[in-house]
Amino acid sequence: MTIMKRRVQYNVADAKARFSSVVREALSGYDVVIAKDNKPLVKVVPVSGGQRIPGSAKGQITIAPDFDEPLDDFAGYR
């Protein structure tokens, strides 16, 4: 299961007019791109990495059944 981020692109003038919304979207996890003449120039990203959503990785991580078994390489240390 792959989580797809929604990408939002604004032209420079639109980004300037909607700056608060642009920041809010970036903090919410959206890929926010600012473009000029429809050519991407910059990406707006949060400094802290954005808001974490509990449970968003559910089903993406598996732990091997033998995860906590002793390693053969350490047999001499047991």
**pLDDT at residue number 41:** 96
Tens place of pLDDT per residue across the chain (78 aa):
555 678 999 999 999 999 999 999 998 889 999 999 999 999 998 887 556 788 888 888 899 999 999 888 888 887
Task: Break the chain into its structural domains and give their ranges.
Answer: 7-46+60-77
Fold of the domain spanning 7-46+60-77: YefM-like fold (3.40.1620)
**pLDDT at residue number 21:** 94
Q: Choose among 4, 6, 13, 12: nearest CA to 40.
A: 12
pLDDT tens profile 55-69: 888 888 899 999 999
Q: How far apart are CA 14 and CA 63, in angstroms?
A: 46
Q: Choose among 53, 1, 3: nearest CA to 31.
A: 3
